[in-house]
Amino acid sequence: MSNYKMLIAGKLVEGNTTLDVINPANEEVFATVPRANQENVMTAIAAAKSAQQLWKNVAESERRVVVNKIADAIAENAEELAKVITLEQGKVLDFARMEVQFAEAFCRSLASHEFPVTVLEETETNRVEEHRNPLGVVAAIIPWNFPLLIAVYKLSPALVTGNAIILKPAPTTPVSSLLLGQIIADIVPKGLVSIIVDNNDLGPVLTSHPDIAKISFTGSTPTGKAIMKNAADTMKRLTLELGGNDAAIVLDDADAKTIAPGIFFSAFINSGQVCIALKRLYVHESVYDELCDEIATLAKGAVVGNGMEEGVQFGPVQNKVQYEKVLSYIAEGKAQGTVIAGGDAPHQPGYVIPLTVIKDLKDGCSLVDEEPFGPVLPIIKYSDLDEVLANANNSKMGLGGSVWSSNLDRALKVAAQLETGTVWINQHCAFGPQIHMAPAKESGIGAEWGKEGVKEFTACKIININKA
* β-pair partners for 333: none
The gap from C-alpha 92 to its chain's centroid, in whole angstroms, comes to 18
Nearest to 254 by CA among 425, 406, 40: 406
| 3 state SS of 315 | coil
Q: Give the amino acid at 207.
A: T
**Distance from C-alpha of 77 to C-alpha of 386, rounded to nearest angstrom:** 51
Among the options 99, 104, 107, 275, which is catalytic? 275
Among the options 88, 99, 104, 241, which is catalytic? 241
List CB contacts of 31: < 8 A, sequence separation 6 or more. Answer: 2, 4, 20, 21, 87, 88, 175
**Distance from C-alpha of 262 to C-alpha of 132, rounded to nearest angstrom:** 40
125 C-beta neighbours (distance < 10 Å), count:
8
The gap from C-alpha 142 to its chain's centroid, in whole angstroms, comes to 8
**Distance from C-alpha of 187 to C-alpha of 70, rounded to nearest angstrom:** 7
Active site residue 60: no
List CB contacts of 314: < 8 A, sequence separation 6 or more. Answer: 92, 268, 271, 302, 303, 304, 305, 355, 375
List CB contacts of 324: < 8 A, sequence separation 6 or more. Answer: none
Radius of gyration of the chain (CA): 23
Helices of type H across 56-92: 60-76, 78-89
Which helix (H) or strand (E) segment is 182 a member of? Answer: helix 175-184
Nearest to 399 by CA among 413, 375, 427, 418: 418
DSSP annotation of 189 reads: P
Long-range contacts from 73-82, C-beta under 8 angstroms, 24+ separation? 73/183, 73/184, 73/187, 74/100, 74/103, 74/104, 74/107, 74/148, 74/152, 74/180, 74/183, 75/104, 76/183, 77/179, 77/183, 78/104, 80/1, 80/179, 81/148, 81/176, 81/179, 81/180
DSSP of 354-373 = --EEEES--BTBHHHHS---
**Distance from C-alpha of 341 to C-alpha of 301, rounded to nearest angstrom:** 9
Which helix (H) or strand (E) segment is 284 a member of? Answer: strand 280-284
Strands 164-168 and 400-404, how do they pair? unpaired
Active site residue 39: no
DSSP annotation of 170 reads: -
Q: Which are the catalytic amino acids?
A: 241, 275
